[in-house]
Amino acid sequence: MDSTGRGDEHSGHRPGWWLGAVGYEVYVRSFADSDGDGIGDLPGLRARLPHLADLGVDVVWLTPVTPSPQRDHGYDVADYLGVEPDYGTLDDLRGVLDDAHALGLKVLMDLVPNHTSDLHPWFLDACSGRDAAHRDFYVWREPGPDGGPPNNWVSHFGGPAWTFHAATGQYYMHLFLPEQPDLNWAEPRVWAAFEDILTAWFERGVDGVRIDVAHSLVEDPHFRDNPLLDQPPSQDGGTGSVFDRFAHIHDLDQPGVVDIYRRWRRIADAHDAVLLGEVYVLDPGKLRRYVTDDALHSAFAFDAIKVAWDAQEIRSTLAPYVAACDDRLSWPLSSHDDPHAAERFGGGEVGARRALAYLTLLCALPGVPFLFQGDELGLDDAVLPEGVAEDPITLRLGVRGRDPQRSPMPWEPGPALGFTLGTPWLPVGSNRGPADTAAAQQGDPGSHLERTRELLATRGRLPALTGHAPLEWVVDEGPVVAVTRGDEVLVALHVGDGEGDAQLVLPEEARLCYATDPRAFLVDGELTLPEDAAVIVALDEETAP
């Protein structure tokens, strides 16, 4: 019996390689194409792994590479153990794993347990009749009294969360597309199937999984209506609108979902692997329930990807997450679902400067900062021509959607900026040019790529940033956000208020370890910090560079 009094508590194991790591998300379809079909693939990724190792990241998360009809670009899985032919073969994936490991990189696969593709054999069987062997793998309900959907739940991608299946006379549930039927986690065979899937991937040498919509697996057993909100949050032009009009108290973040991860944690720990949840719960106290010693190792703090370029908002948003979850969070700078940080913070050169400064702050927080491909090049989002929409959000709702952040990675000057010898599945963007490419930035000390590399190297050299040194928020107001880690390191970000450089008085022995902007300087304990810039400062002589 342990100190919590729960006899079967699993004592948390966290792989040494995870603590202090830096993560990087690869959107496989847009990373690198090896065969000229315009679609990124595993051999293309394999050839570019040295770019990631040189950048100084430790963990690479691959968006789904399993076979899929691509209605939601891999997040509609038709076979959990196969490899999508557009991306290559299982041998190609083994090649990626082998090379990544040889370069010192760990690899996380994307696991999608909330729903399958409607072409998954389980769903095809489930549709064959009410008595089908896999019927209960999915969520089926009788029509409501008026013959309509069983309740008022709506899909993230617009429309009801229910589709009527005429042949068997029931509705099935889908929190996303009708082609993404939700699995029924009240069915023990679903639990067993995913325990086998996890084990198989870990035995293939995968170092962990990023768990898609990890807060969504379990539903209210009574399928009660969600209440309508009096005041829906303001719209961001994303998936929102109808979905955001409801308080999702019966379809998301339900009791019992963490029990699933308790089972998975034992499997992960036996393989020195990590469980990283896409837990879209914007409340640090609630998020904390997922990241315990016997459940998920880490979860993304999505508020970090939402904050405006505002010092007070950055402080008041991030501080409660650190207080509640300490080093059990991952801090996304950008992702395939959200605009690049440079775009969010104003676009162009200013946006890129701010994104690097913000990444510097994320590098100071306990836990794992995560870059999304292109962040290291300072990319904002691609400007795409009309009529090329691929994202179901744009196709269904007619809003901006997620294509602009998913455009191909610019590698080198030339056709399609080195992504493919063919026609890219999404255009590279009319705002992208040779100067944006990795090749052009490589070796130029002032480039975004080299500044990012230096940032990650500096972080890696400072045990206060990668270890357990306690974090303190040291400036409570004004345009500078600053934290210390122990007595050793201070990281300061000047968000700017149009008043020009900020001055900070530090101990005399303080030394500058890293600055996003060469105009930052520190003399005799006086730090001058330009707007939109951040620095890492060693506070004692031992830590000084």
Active site residues: 212, 278
Secondary element (H or E) of residue 289? none
The CA distances from residue 413 to 38, 76, 418, 449, in Å, are: 17, 34, 6, 16
Residue ranges in 100-119 that form contacts with ligand GLC under rule CB under 6 A = 112
Q: Is 213 in the site for ligand GLC (CB under 6 A)?
A: yes
DSSP state of 234: P
Closest approach, Cβ 370 to ligand GLC, in A, equals 13
Burial-class residue 220 by CB neighbours within 10 Å (0-12, 13-18, 19+). Answer: middle
Closest approach, Cβ 217 to ligand GLC, in A, equals 12
For ligand GLC, the closer CB: 337 or 376: 337
Q: Give me 284's structure tokens.
A: 């640090």
According to CB under 6 A, which one of 179, 212, 269, 403 is a site residue for ligand GLC?
212
Q: Give me 250's structure tokens.
A: 């019966």
Q: Is 534 in the site for ligand GLC (CB under 6 A)?
A: no
Give the number of other Cβ atoms within 10 Å of residue 388's Cβ. Answer: 12
Distance between CA atoms of residues 437 and 300, nearest Å? 28
Closest CA to 264 of 198, 340, 342, 166: 198
Distance between CA atoms of residues 529 and 516, nearest Å? 10
Amino acid at 171: Y
Report whether 473 contacts 490 (CB < 8 A).
Answer: no
For ligand GLC, the closer CB: 77 or 465: 77
According to CB under 6 A, which one of 75, 243, 309, 358 is a site residue for ligand GLC?
75
SS3 483: strand
Q: Is 253 in the site for ligand GLC (CB under 6 A)?
A: no
Closest CA to 111 of 196, 188, 31: 196
Q: Is 72 in the site for ligand GLC (CB under 6 A)?
A: yes
Report whether 368 contacts 129 (CB < 8 A).
Answer: no
Closest approach, Cβ 382 to ligand GLC, in A, equals 17
Q: Is 337 in the site for ligand GLC (CB under 6 A)?
A: yes
Report whether 479 contacts 499 (CB < 8 A).
Answer: yes
Closest approach, Cβ 72 to ligand GLC, in A, equals 5
Closest approach, Cβ 336 to ligand GLC, in A, equals 6
Query: Any residues with CB less than 8 A from the CB of 236 and at least 6 apart, and which?
Result: none
Site size toward ligand GLC, by CB under 6 A? 9
Query: Any residues with CB less than 8 A from the CB of 385 and at least 6 apart, and which?
Result: 427, 430
Closest approach, Cβ 176 to ligand GLC, in A, equals 5
Query: Any residues with CB less than 8 A from the CB of 438 and at least 6 apart, and which?
Result: 51, 376, 377, 409, 410, 411, 412, 449
Q: Is 27 in the site for ligand GLC (CB under 6 A)?
A: no
For ligand GLC, the closer CB: 315 or 406: 406
Distance between CA atoms of residues 226 and 149, nearest Å? 13
Q: Is 358 in the site for ligand GLC (CB under 6 A)?
A: no
Residue ranges in 148-187 that form contacts with ligand GLC under rule CB under 6 A = 176
Distance between CA atoms of residues 50 and 109, nearest Å? 19
Tally of helices (H runs) and strands (E runs) in the chain: 13, 19
Closest approach, Cβ 73 to ligand GLC, in A, equals 7
Closest approach, Cβ 74 to ligand GLC, in A, equals 8
For ligand GLC, the closer CB: 155 or 420: 155
The residues binding ligand GLC (CB under 6 A) are: 72, 75, 112, 176, 212-213, 278, 336-337
